[in-house]
Amino acid sequence: MEGDWDRVKAQIAQMLDSRVTPLEQELEQQRALIGQLTKAIQLLSESLTASPSQTLAKPAMKAKPKQHPPTSSAGKATNNNANES
């Protein structure tokens, strides 16, 4: 009877091991994926916190010389009014 019980215990242990091993592998894969995602989020966070002052300031500085002041049309209107008087 003890021999039968030992055989049953061995079969149960083997069955459990066969289920645990794939789960352990999946867990390790998911941990690796979590690590990669964490690194990607950190890089994204660093780039977002560093770039607003740098990227927004540079285009604004470049855009200002390209913009023409709206006073040119107002000045023409003033000159037209002066000519009419």
How many residues can be counted in the chain?
A: 85
Q: pLDDT per residue over 21-69, tens digit each? A: 999 999 999 999 999 999 999 999 999 887 555 555 555 555 555 555 5
- Listing DSSP states for the chain in one string gives -HHHHHHHHHHHHHHHHHHHHHHHHHHHHHHHHHHHHHHHHHHHHHHHHHHHHHHHHHHHHHHHHHSPPTHHHHHHHHHHHHHH-
The overall pTM is greater than 0.85: no
| Segments making up each domain of the chain, as ranges | 2-67
- Measured between alpha carbons, how far is 27 from 46 in angstroms, rounded to an integer? 28
